[in-house]
């Protein structure tokens, strides 16, 4: 990190890198937020470098959410400036041109959002959001948001105001007992249920917290040393702490139930109230996190490659002598899994397995945001190279199958299976590096209803394969996933595996119509209407 900025720095921020307008299409599953914040506690970073590092870190967590983006910066007097927009960060902020440069900037927060609660087109829902001199950025879902709102009584709602669970949380914090922001945060959180990571500021310091079960991740790092810090940073993934301009090596996970207060050069834990059992989201490892991130002590790419190897052990493919099958990944999500699967298959079958990328992700220019539902026809996102597929038996490897929109099948033009068959593949097999998703997620990943899940709609795997139009379908077992994550018997209990039919948080919202897929967060939308 450079020192104080020079006088000839530009007054609007443009990242010092080649501007690329051709971007990869969005993935089909999203969590609700990417989140990063930084506080300069020494006054030595400078406004430009604060903006530069925050912008880069925001792009590093862009894969988590692509619906809209917000940025807030506070100067040494606690005065804030904000910019918000729809789409990816580069679109929302015009490749950085809209990012305000505050010469004596001290605190910066960047947030990317995929709406899991509230109206996706409602601009006031873009974070960070402010109320009564408190600014909040939130990752996760409050499953009792309606109950919290009811207890608060009258709050401004809709129109020029937000209408989601983050706004409920901010109102609860603003009204909570306490003289300081950290006191209000701690007191308000005691009545929250769900999974969350909060970063809040009053313009003078930062208070950050993680839910008691540690469902949603949050990392905390220091530039300099804990004893003599220059700046502190918080991020939903540790890889965001290592981008150019930061390169933070000294960091840790915020503990379940921990609330951290940063004032001046002091960062202290002001509350530590974990639940009896940790339930960190295993889907972070399966899908959400970047390959170069770590979670619960394990590298994400390594875990996914291992999952692919175990997937072969559990779901091999029979290939006759003199025959051959071509293994290929679904880009980009299936690459690490395919690496492991091919390694294991090649060890067992030698030249009877081939490896090509006959399926490519399209790159396109222009606006890079996606539909709020995350759905685009696979034929718009992917292309098949017929010369690499025609006449071949293809085995496609991906991470998960949630709704089945991407795989498609049958006569669905947009389905990858149909695309491969149309390009001349003689057989199409599918292998998935995680168990079947049988339950919705209410804690921050965007499949909140049971009815949208392929495994719920077609419980029999053979029927599911028929609907998808594949010759065979195989999943990694939950025990296999645990092994890939390096989880022993004790660590297994620390993961939330509810979506895969395993352990969930202590309060699954059964009283809110879980069987019908109607939950508290959806009731917020009903209220607004």
Encode pLDDT of 149-170 as tens digits.
999 999 999 889 999 999 999 9
Query: Which of 143-157, 363-377, 450-464 comes out lowest in average pLDDT?
Result: 363-377
The per-residue pLDDT for range 86-127, each reduced to its tens digit, is 999 999 999 999 999 999 999 999 999 875 554 567 899 999
Cα–Cα distances in angstroms (integers) from residue 488 to residues 298, 309, 483, 500, 503, in the given order? 13, 18, 8, 18, 15
Give me the percent of the chain exceeding a pLDDT of 90.
Answer: 75
- Tell me the three state secondary structure of residue 109: strand
Q: Tell me how far apart the alpha carbons of residues 395 and 345 are, in angstroms, rounded to a whole number.
A: 11
Residue 513 has pLDDT above 80, yes or no: no
Angle between helices 145-152 and 520-528 (to 10 degrees): 50
Residue 524 has pLDDT above 60, yes or no: no
pLDDT in the model for residue 406: 61
Residue 140 has pLDDT above 90, yes or no: yes
pLDDT band, very low/low/confident/very high, at 471 (cuts 50, 70, 90): very high
Averaged pLDDT for residues 397-405:
86
In the beta sheet, which residues pair with residue 298? Answer: 295
Bridge pairing between strands 359-361 and 266-272: unpaired
Torsion angles phi and psi, residue 484, rounded to 5: -60, -35
Residue 182 has pLDDT above 80, yes or no: yes
Contacts with 1 (C-beta within 8 Å, 6 or more apart), sequence order:
45, 49, 53, 223, 230, 231, 245, 246
Cα–Cα distances in angstroms (integers) from residue 491 to residues 280, 344, 398, in the given order? 10, 26, 25
pLDDT band, very low/low/confident/very high, at 415 (cuts 50, 70, 90): confident
444 preceded by cis ω (within 30°)? no
The per-residue pLDDT for range 299-320, each reduced to its tens digit, is 999 999 999 999 999 999 999 9
pLDDT in the model for residue 281: 97
pLDDT in the model for residue 22: 24
pLDDT in the model for residue 244: 87
Domains of the chain, CATH where assigned: 31-275 (3.60.20.10), 295-504 (3.40.50.2020)
Cα–Cα distances in angstroms (integers) from residue 301 to residues 284, 291, 294, 333, 347, in the given order? 12, 4, 9, 11, 20
pLDDT in the model for residue 6: 34
Q: Tell me how far apart the alpha carbons of residues 392 and 395 are, in angstroms, rounded to a whole number.
A: 10
**Helical H segments across 317-469, by residue range:** 335-349, 378-381, 416-422, 454-457, 461-468
pLDDT in the model for residue 430: 96
Taking residue 226's Cβ as centre, other Cβ atoms within 10 Å add up to: 10
How many Å separate Cα 72 from the centre of its chain?
20
Given a contact cutoff of 8 angstroms between Cβ atoms, the answer to whether 523 and 346 are in contact is no
The per-residue pLDDT for range 432-458, each reduced to its tens digit, is 999 999 999 999 887 888 888 999 999
Q: Does 499 participate in catalysis according to the annotation?
A: no
Give the start-end residues of each E strand in 57-98: 68-75, 80-86
pLDDT band, very low/low/confident/very high, at 249 (cuts 50, 70, 90): confident
For tokens 């395993």, name the residue. 502
pLDDT in the model for residue 114: 77
User: Using the 8-state DSSP alphabet, how is residue 178 labeled?
Assistant: -
Q: Tell me how far apart the alpha carbons of residues 123 and 338 are, in angstroms, rounded to a whole number.
A: 39
Given a contact cutoff of 8 angstroms between Cβ atoms, the answer to whether 196 and 169 are in contact is yes
Q: Tell me how far apart the alpha carbons of residues 382 and 407 are, in angstroms, rounded to a whole number.
A: 11
- Tell me the three state secondary structure of residue 153: coil
């Amino acid at each position: 990190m450079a020192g104080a900025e020079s006088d000839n720095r530009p007054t609007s921020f443009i990242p010092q890198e080649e501007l690329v307008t051709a971007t990869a299409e969005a993935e089909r599953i999203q969590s609700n937020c990417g989140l990063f914040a930084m506080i300069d506690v020494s006054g030595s970073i400078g406004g430009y470098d604060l903006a530069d590092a925050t912008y880069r870190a925001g792009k590093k967590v862009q894969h988590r959410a692509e619906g809209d983006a917000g940025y807030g910066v506070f100067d040494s007097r606690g005065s804030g400036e904000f910019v918000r927009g729809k789409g990816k960060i580069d679109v929302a902020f015009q490749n950085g041109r809209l990012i305000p440069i505050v010469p004596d900037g001290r605190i910066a927060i960047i947030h990317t959002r995929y709406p899991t609660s509230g109206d996706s087109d409602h601009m006031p829902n873009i974070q960070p959001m402010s109320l009564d001199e408190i600014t909040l950025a939130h990752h996760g879902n409050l499953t009792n948001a309606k109950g919290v709102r009811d207890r608060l009584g009258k709050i401004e709602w809709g129109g020029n105001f937000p209408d989601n669970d983050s706004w409920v949380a901010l109102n609860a914090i603003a009204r909570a007992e306490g003289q300081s922001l950290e006191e209000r945060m701690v007191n308000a959180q005691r009545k929250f249920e769900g999974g969350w990571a909060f970063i809040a500021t009053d313009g003078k310091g930062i208070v950050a917290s993680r839910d008691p079960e540690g469902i949603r991740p949050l990392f905390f790092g220091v530039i300099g040393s804990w004893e003599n810090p220059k700046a502190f940073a918080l991020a939903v993934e540790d890889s965001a702490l290592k981008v150019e301009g930061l390169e933070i090596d000294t960091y840790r996970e915020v503990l379940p139930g921990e609330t951290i207060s940063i004032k001046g050069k002091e960062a202290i834990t002001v509350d530590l109230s974990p639940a009896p059992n940790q339930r960190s989201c295993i889907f972070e490892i399966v899908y959400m996190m970047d390959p170069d991130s770590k979670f619960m002590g394990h590298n994400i790419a390594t875990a996914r490659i291992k999952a692919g190897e175990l997937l072969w052990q559990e779901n091999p493919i029979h290939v006759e002598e003199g025959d051959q099958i071509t293994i290929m990944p679904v880009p980009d999500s299936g690459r690490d899994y395919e690496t492991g699967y091919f390694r294991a298959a090649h060890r067992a079958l030698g030249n009877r397995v081939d490896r090509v990328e006959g399926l490519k992700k399209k790159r396109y220019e222009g606006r890079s945001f996606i539909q709020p539902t995350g759905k685009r026809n696979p034929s718009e996102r992917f292309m098949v190279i017929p010369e690499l597929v025609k006449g071949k038996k293809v085995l496609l490897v991906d991470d998960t199958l949630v709704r089945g929109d991407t795989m498609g099948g049958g006569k669905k033009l947009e389905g990858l299976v149909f695309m491969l068959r149309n390009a001349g593949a003689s057989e199409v097999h599918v292998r998935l590096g995680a168990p079947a998703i049988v339950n919705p997620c209410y804690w921050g990943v965007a499949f909140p209803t049971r009815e949208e899940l392929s495994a719920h709609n077609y419980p029999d795997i053979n029927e599911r394969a028929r609907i998808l139009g594949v010759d065979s379908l195989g999943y990694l077992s939950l025990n296999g996933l645990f092994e890939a994550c390096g989880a022993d018997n004790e660590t297994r209990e620390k993961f939330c595996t509810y979506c895969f039919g395993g352990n969930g948080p202590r309060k699954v919202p059964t009283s809110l119509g879980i069987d019908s897929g109607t939950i508290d967060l959806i009731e917020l939308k009903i209220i607004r209407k």
